[in-house]
Amino acid sequence: MAIVANTYLSFSAIGNREDLVDTIYNISPTDTPFQANIGKNKAEATYHEWQTDVLASAAANAQLQGDDTTSSYTFTAVAATKRLGNQTQISRKDAVVSGTQDAVNKGGRKKEIVYQLLKKNKELARDMEFVLTQNQARNTNASSTVAPLLAGLENWYGVTTSAVSTNVSRGASGANSTTNQTVAATDGTQRPLTESLLKGVIQGAWTNGGDIDLIMSGPFNKTVISTFTGNNTRTQDTSDKKLISAIDVYVSDFGTHKVVANRFQRERTLHVLMTDMFAISYLRPKQTIDLSKLGDNEKAMILAEYTLESRNDSGSGVVADLTTS
């Protein structure tokens, strides 16, 4: 077929309006499973502290009838509580937008600074999830040139008592953080995740008094957990034509545990958590601060000052130093 001579085509036309969808599509993940599952608390100083305690081991206990204490009687020594603490850390995101950009007609948003702050709020939540779950040591020498750092989740295993090694599984040469969390945990030789490793840590945490409700892993090891056989039977629902191959709830001899993948934690670490023994303690809750207007622009930032409160780590556990592919 041929085009009629002198047909006015859109390729040469002037003044055709653009066709811009009035929506901005963004699939960057914003789920923060660690923050979503733990508690929130208030901090009142840059070094936030709490105490832990433990009962004496159960033992045979038989006494004489009519027994009384005498001058020679020896009372059982009273064990002091353990005092723990973590440094608060400041995290922030900021944006500056010119007056012109706010004035022009834009697709997908009306006021540019509002749109940018909505993005920054999500970015800050992702940053906080990253910080809270990392193998980051506490910084004790913060100054005008050194930012304070909180001790991340990976540094809070095996510190409450000396009898919690059964709920910490590390590869060869791996080691826990120092008792004051100022030196990060030592990475060991990586090894594949097995159901035996997971069950051993769950049992160790339960023996210490823990009640595990959340197993949190990176995406690769989430798929490994879905290969565990356990006592489950996978079935196919022929009406929906679906084969269920993922494990989102793992049932062990010591309870029922939700299994989630976390995009922001280290892939090599599997956290086995009693979530009510952890909290984010805020010295300054997440807030938007409008900054002084000094020119033809708008400036603002979103800020939080917070720390991780590990209330009693002996009820949780870790399978560290895992292979990631």
Between 212 and 232, residue with greater pLDDT? 212
* Whole-number pLDDT of residue 164: 45
In a domain, 4, yes or no: no
Q: What is the mean pLDDT of residues 160-177?
A: 80
pLDDT score of 117 more than 80: yes
pLDDT tens-digit readout, 176-222: 998 889 999 999 999 999 999 999 999 999 999 999 999 999 999 99
The answer to whether residue 5 is domain-embedded is no
In single-letter form, the type of residue at position 42 comes to K
- Residues 44-92 have pLDDT tens digits of 999 999 999 988 889 999 988 988 877 788 888 998 999 999 999 999 9
Range of the domain at 280: 33-52+83-319
Sign of the C-alpha dihedral computed for residues 191, 197, 201 and 207 taken in this order: negative
Residue among 168, 225, 215, 160 nearest 37 (CA): 215
Q: What is the mean pLDDT of residues 131-149?
A: 93
The least confident of 35-39, 158-162, 175-179, 312-316 is 158-162
Write out the H or E segment, with its range, that includes residue 284.
Answer: strand 278-290
Which pLDDT does position 163 carry in this prediction?
44
Q: Which residue has the higher pLDDT, 188 or 231?
A: 188
**What pLDDT sits at residue 289?**
94
Contact at 8 Å (CB) between 215 and 37?
no
HSE, CB side, 13 Å, CA atoms: give it for residue 163.
9
Q: Judging by DSSP bridges, how do beta strands 317-319 and 168-169 pair with one another?
A: parallel
CA 103, CA 226: separation in Å to the nearest integer? Answer: 52
Q: Quick check: is 1 in a domain? A: no
Average pLDDT for 2-9: 82
Please report, rounded to a whole number, the percentage of residues in the chain having pLDDT higher than 90. Answer: 69
Give the per-residue pLDDT at 233: 47
Identify whether 252 is part of a domain.
yes
Euclidean distance between CA atoms 273 and 261, whole angstroms: 13
Average pLDDT for the chain = 90
Indicate the number of domains in the chain: 1
Residue 60 lies in a domain: no
Question: In this structure, is residue 15 part of a structural domain?
Answer: no
pLDDT digits over 262-310, tens only?
999 999 999 999 999 999 999 999 999 999 988 999 999 999 999 999 9
Per-position DSSP letters for 210-257, written without gaps between them: ----EEEE-HHHHHHHTT--TT----EETTTTEE----SEEEETTEEE
**Confidence at residue 9, expressed as pLDDT on a 0 to 100 scale:** 82
| pTM of the predicted model as reported, rounded to 2 decimal places | 0.90
d(CA 155, CA 133): 9
With tokens 């006015």, the residue in question is 8
CB 182 within 8 A of CB 140: yes
| Residue of 71 and 174 predicted with greater confidence | 174
Assigned domain for 3 exists: no
Q: Evaluate whether residue 20 is within a structural domain.
A: no
End-to-end CA distance of the chain: give it in Å, rounded.
Answer: 56
Distance CA 231, CA 271 (A): 22
Q: Decide if pLDDT at 132 tops 90.
A: yes
